[in-house]
Structure 1
Amino acid sequence: MTSSGNSSETILRQADAPFHVIAKAIGPICNLDCKYCFYLEKEQLYPNNEKWKMSDEKLEVFIRDYIAAQPGQEVSFAFQGGEPTLLGVDYFRKVVEFQKKHANGKQISTAFQTNGTLLDDEWGEFLAENKFLVGLSIDGPEDLHNTYRVDKKGRDTYKEVIRGLNVLRKHGVEFNTLTCVNAETVKHPVKIYKFLKSIGSKYLQFIPIVEREVDTAAAKLGLDHAAPPNLAEAPATKESPKMSDFAVPAEAYGDFLINIFNEWINFDVGKVYVQLFDVALGKWLGTSGGLCYFAETCGDALAMEHDGDVYTCDHYVYPNYKLGNMMNTSLGELADSQMAKDFGNAKRDKLPQYCRDCSVRFACNGECPKHRFTWTPDGEWGLNYLCPSYKKFFTHIDPAMKIMAELYRAKRAPADVMQILAEQRKGNRS
């Protein structure tokens, strides 16, 4: 059910299945100007907007509705941007207040992604007290981090990020790191991995930067990057994609992952957790893996802008992927809408035959639809740009993953794989 006008009249609706919302309560506004960021340009989608901060009224509606819409007893909130710390500590005190008010017996957790440059002791005390999980964006050592992660005046940001990191460590805030793999960082996998360990990160995420030069559709909206591909309609010509200068090369990302995996599998299993490796183990155990990129279908990770507009995904914040507005339609109804289902099912239904026949399809599933803008060897549209990398990576890790899966099923620690592999190497040398 929906209502128009007063949001308090919107009928709350529980969704048929759990779903996630990335809340962008500050919209695309950020104090940095990272050269590869895909979200800063979204400011152009709201050309007459002057107030980017989600109002208290809308914030409470979101929190109330999101909790009510979840069919389970655990509810995870995630705030991104832009830069969420621009909202200020007091804003997140309201977040906690509204969560407690509307929890209705459910267990609430909150995370946000930050560039770390604005963190201070007040933030540290608040985050620790309220047990927020913080994702810290850092691209490696100073020389690599500063390549693309600069402020609005083009100045380096590494020292400010490390200062923010020290705030998190001082106050015992749980954090993970998010590292973007771009044209420069892809050349230094082990250097970056060892650096992240050295700063105390035990939970690592690596995100490939895959952006193309602006196309006609995006240019009409005033955007700088190409819009996601239309999987239902192949381009008229088979031209090679024009990648942005900072984009990770199609095959190099696989080598980056393999080099880090080799370091991790021999020395750090059970001590350092790499998101993609955890997801992969889940795949070898026959589960979904828990990450939309590699799921058979998607569409259950929505994005919400500062004004309550809800989109199918934060990589698809474009007018034709807008599901509606939470002030007019409940989040549960938006999550269960036919548009959301069709979007998610297209990930599976539009998968090229080349992928369907692939030996690592169970692990990859074509990855993110946003990256499916190339052609298969037999001329079918919709192959993932990173296909060479994922095929190489998943094939490489297969022997080790099979061992780890067997250990898990035998109720042994997957970390025992390190000893098994060491014994295998010793046997090969003798």
Structure 2
Amino acid sequence: MAFAFLISVGGGIWAFITLLRKLYFICQPSEVLIFAGLRHRTAAGATVGYRTVRGGSSVRIPVLEEVMRLDLSNMIIDLRVENAYSKGGIPLNVSGVANIKISGDEPGIHNAIERLIGKSQDQIRHIAKETLEGNLRGVMASLTPEQLNEDKITFARTLLEEAEDDLQKLGLVLDTLQIQNISDDVRYLDSIGRKQLVELKRDSRIAEAEATSQSAVKQAENSRITELRRLDKELAIATANAEKRIKDALTRRNAVVAEVEAKIGAELARAQAELPVQEERIKQVMQQLEADVIAPAESLCQTMMAEAKGEAATIVEQGRSQAEGLSDLVESLKRSGDDAKRLFLLQKLEPLLTMLSETVQPVTVEEVTLIGERDGQSNLSLATLLRQLQDSTGIRLLQQPDASAAADSPVQGD
């Protein structure tokens, strides 16, 4: 009896454990358990006919609930789009890799339960791939080939933003998206690449030139700073030397001033001592000058004054006697009448004619003709004329034997 009881108890325990193992479900970290059958309220307040368990365990209510699993592990999708027209009408080929998974948070988990429950990972991967390729074509149509090729990160980010809403509706989450290659059959990107290569070389040369110029500028700036520092140092040294010389000069100034004052005082004292001697010497020189120069000069002056007075008296007396003689002559001329005046003029004319005859060369008179003589008076008039001419001019005419011969012969004068 006891053995049968133990067997029955053991069998009951084993049956309970077996039943518990069938009703007890453990959820792995990479999956979600869905207990469908009873109505439950979600965190958002919506009422659904299931409950979810993630990363834990739960017991299924027999008969009332059914358990389903939803895998949350990562799925890798290879994206490949060919002849997708970009902005500008250039067909491009794009390949990339995307990592997606089923969302484990609300509200994405509810969308996944409604749309993906019961589907395999291959089916889910195919749905996600078609969705991403459609989004990829849409994004490529809005970007130029240059933008797609030059900034793949921006391209991937734009694709993530574009596909997020569509994947969220499917209950999927796009973890990562990498654009691996972008190409075209018309070699448009190759020409862009060559252009970019040229531009890159140009930019590198420009950068090298700028770097060289900046290096030269920096070197010049360093040289300028070095030169300024050297000049500042030399200026500081010169300033220090100048201040030192100024201090030395100020120190020696008092000694030099005292020395100069002593010399000036000595000279002044010597000059003051020599002053009486010089005054006596001046007096001596003045006395000597008075004896040697002034006295003889005064004596000579007195003598010359006396001589001048004597000469003046003689001249005065001569002038007075001449004036008296002229006065007497004038009185006698007045008393003599008109003949006295003619006589005076003849007396004055004789020396004048003598002076004139001395200036004239000897003249030979060949012939003298008398015109207008009266008959019977020519001989007497001619003799009188010759005598008067001889008396007045000193010219003597040669006499001829007869009057006719005298009239025809030439006249000669001494």
* TM-score normalised by the chain length of structure 2: 0.19
Q: Greater CA radius of gyration, 1 or 2? A: 2
- Please state which structure has a larger fraction of its residues in helix: 2
If asked which structure has higher relative contact order (CA below 8 Å, sep 6+), I would say 1
